[in-house]
Every structure is written in structure tokens, then in C-alpha cells.
Amino acid sequence: MRSMSAEADLVKPARQAAPEPGVSFDLTPSDEQRMMVDAVRDFAARQVRPAAAEADHSCRTPPPLLAAAGALGLSATGIPTAHGGPLDERATVTSALIAEALAEGDMGIAVACLAPGGVATALGLWGDAEQQATHLPALAAEMPPAAAIAIMEPRALFDPFALRTQARRTAGGDILLDGVKSLVPRGAECGLLLVAAAVDGGPSLLLVEPNAGTSVVPAPGMGVRSAATASITFEQVRLPQRALLGESDPQVYAELVARSRLAWSALAVGTGAAVLAYVSEYVNQRTAFGEPISNRQSVAFMVADMATEIESIRLATLRACSLAESGRPFTREAALAHALTVAQATAIGSDGVQLLGGHGYTREHPVERWFRDLRAAGIFIGALAL
């Protein structure tokens, strides 16, 4: 409630309540969820998809799209109402449905729009009163500032539980941050980063407002280019003790990593659905040897398997999200959903191009972009979270 006194605001953090777990197996979204998803689908189809090719090419999501996503409240689902958020209860499932619907329009634009939401959700779940009061009202605004979760580092076999980014405590009680973070969405414009760094030997999360010790270099990758990914280097960046989120609790960090796996799984489902719809139409129209190529089992079975695997990731992701939402253990389930994403997302992208043959390899069709974007889903750790 917004009536909370200013004093209480400073002492006690606001938390969204965890809803009671459902009593029966049910895959039907609530009326509120359906309305939200319909709105996002409409936005994705009318505004995101038509802008996707140019945004990919220019490595930039157009500000009007970011503004429209902000107006829809797409990245505010994890913000408690005391700080301007729309929901009293946690809505991890709704967030997954939003990510899926938006990524059906374009994965890179979805990442650009939803990255601030990951930071907001983390603050909602684990921020103390002061951290929340400092950052959440801006993130709840109609045009939230760029913000992102920065976990990845530039090396092969990167393990988010063995970080090279270090945060050392000084004699004066401050923290000095050193290290490099990769593939941070909208990194050049981020006013707030949630940075994973080793503190006292274990991984922790730090709220960082980039300053003079921070250097940002645009670093586009093979996909999700419209998310404007960047590399960020921290050199002796001095932070106050209160920059630590979640009191360096290793479970908080593990949970954030799991929530980011769920975000990427939901994105993969959405972009996978885009591939499925596109190739389904194509194989019915394309003729070879005098008939539609969809009359061939080798073609049609690829489509059938694609549909089955998309549904697999979808169900596993929703299960983990519904557990997370109601406060039950979910990191194993998130790992299983993500393992499906790792195994299948890339295959769906590759099969999408394969089914279009030479046409799929050109920029005349969006499947080459989806091929590149779907490669991201199994690789990214962090950037955003549900």
C-alpha cells in the first residue's frame, strides 16, 4: 500500500506476497494474465516485429518501443506497490508469459525492454528499504532507465559461481570493484547495474551506478543485437557497503542465476514459436517436385519435433516459475527447463533456416535472425531475470 509512512519505508523493505500454491494441475492463465498476454502479443505483432530487422541491423532498440513497453508496465511486475509497482503479489508466471509473448516479436528487443525488470525484481525480492527507496520508484516509472544484471565474463567455460570480478573491502568499510562483464544489454546507457562479483571468496550481487571508474565498450554479438550489448570494465570502482544486495547470501545469488535461466527459457519459447509459425506457412507454400514440401515426412517431421520441443521448454519453464512465484524451491526445475533450452533452442533456430533452404540463409527472411538470436538463449547467464 502507498500509505506506508516515510519512516517505515526506510526501516522495512516492501515485499510482494507469495501467492498460495494452486491446489490442482491447471494450465489455464488467469483473466488478468490473459489480458496482459493479449496486450503484449498485440504490441509484439504490430510494433516489435516490423521494427526487428532494422533494430538488429543498427544494434539499437528504438526509444519509442522502449517507451511503449514501459507504458505497458512490462518490466514492473516485480516491483512492490509501495514503490509504484502494479502488483501486490509476486507474478513470476506472468513475467514468463510476457517474456514469451514479447520474444515472439523479437528476442533482442524483448531483452532491451525487459532487462530493467530483472534488476527491479531482484530489488523487490532482496533489496533493503534504502536500496528499494533509492532505485525502485524510477524503475516503476513509465519510462524506466536502462538497467541490467551483469554476470558473464569474457572467457571459455565461464562459471557464474567462480567469478574473476572481485570486490575487496577497504579499511574504511567501502568496497573496491575490479573486473570485466560481458554482453550487458544496453550497457552504454545503463544507469544501474546489478553486478556479480566475488566478495570474501563467494559470489555476491552489487548495485552499481556507473561512474568514472567504469568504461563501456559496445560489444555486439551474433544475435540479440537490438539489445545493444556492451562490455563493461570496472577499475577500482569505489562502492559503499550498502551496495551489497541480499547480504551476500549465496542462496540469493543462486536463485538469481536460476531466475535468469527461466527468463532465457521463456524468451526461447517465444522466438521458437515465431520460427514454428513462419516455417509452417513456408513449407505449405513452397513446392518442389510438383507438390508442397510439407507433403514430405522429412520436412513435416522436423516441424512436428520443433513444436513438441517448444512445448517441452514451455511447460518446464512454467512449472519452475509457478514454484518460484509461491515461494517453493525451484532451482532444480529451473535447471531442467534451461537444460532443455540449451539442447533445443539452437536446434530450433538451425532447423528454421534448414527448412527454408537457401532462402533461409538470406536476410530476405527472418529465420536467419532467429537462428542467431536462439543461439543466445542457452549461452547468456544474467542480463535479465524473471
| Cβ atoms of 370 and 352 closer than 8 Å | yes
Q: Considering the rule CB under 8 A, would residue 248 count as an interface residue with other proteins? A: no
Q: Considering the rule CB under 8 A, would residue 18 count as an interface residue with other proteins? A: no
Which of 192, 232, 337, 355: binder of other proteins (CB under 8 A)?
337
Q: Considering the rule CB under 8 A, would residue 274 count as an interface residue with other proteins? A: no
Write out the binding residues for other proteins, residues 131-190 only, by CB under 8 A.
Answer: 157-162
Angle (CA) 153-117-11 rounded to 5° is 100
| Cα–Cα distance measured from residue 21 to residue 333, given in angstroms and rounded to the nearest whole number | 16
**Start-to-end C-alpha separation, the chain:** 23
Displacement of CA 293 from its chain's centroid (Å): 36
| Cβ atoms of 335 and 243 closer than 8 Å | no
Checking phi first, is residue 56 left (phi over 0); if not, alpha (psi -120 to 50) or beta? Answer: alpha
Q: Considering the rule CB under 8 A, would residue 199 count as an interface residue with other proteins? A: no
Q: Give the residue with the Cβ less far from other proteins, 225 or 259.
A: 259
- Going by the DSSP 8-state scheme, the letter that residue 159 receives in this structure is -
Scan for cell 509476486, then name that residue. Answer: 90
Q: Is 270 helix (H, G, I), strand (E, B) or coil?
A: helix
| Cα–Cα distance measured from residue 255 to residue 261, given in angstroms and rounded to the nearest whole number | 10
Q: Considering the rule CB under 8 A, would residue 19 count as an interface residue with other proteins? A: yes
Which of 36, 69, 111, 381: binder of other proteins (CB under 8 A)?
381
Q: Considering the rule CB under 8 A, would residue 354 count as an interface residue with other proteins? A: no
Which residues, in sequence order, are bridge partners of residue 208?
193
Q: Give the residue with the Cβ less far from other proteins, 22 or 240.
A: 22
C-beta of 146: minimal distance to other proteins in Å?
26
# of chain residues touching other proteins (CB under 8 A): 61
Q: Give the residue with the Cβ less far from other proteins, 55 or 383.
A: 383
Strand 147-150 and strand 192-199: pairing? parallel
Which of 331, 347, 354, 361: binder of other proteins (CB under 8 A)?
331
Query: Pattern 286-325, binding to other proteins, x per CB under 8 A?
Result: -----xx-xxxx--xx-xxx-xxx-xxx-xx-xx--xx--
C-beta of 375: minimal distance to other proteins in Å?
14
C-beta of 247: minimal distance to other proteins in Å?
19
Nearest to 193 by CA among 141, 243, 133, 140: 243
* Interface residue list for other proteins (CB under 8 A): 19-30, 33, 93, 157-162, 254, 257-258, 280, 283-284, 291-292, 294-297, 300-301, 303-305, 307-309, 311-313, 315-316, 318-319, 322-323, 331-337, 339-340, 342-343, 381
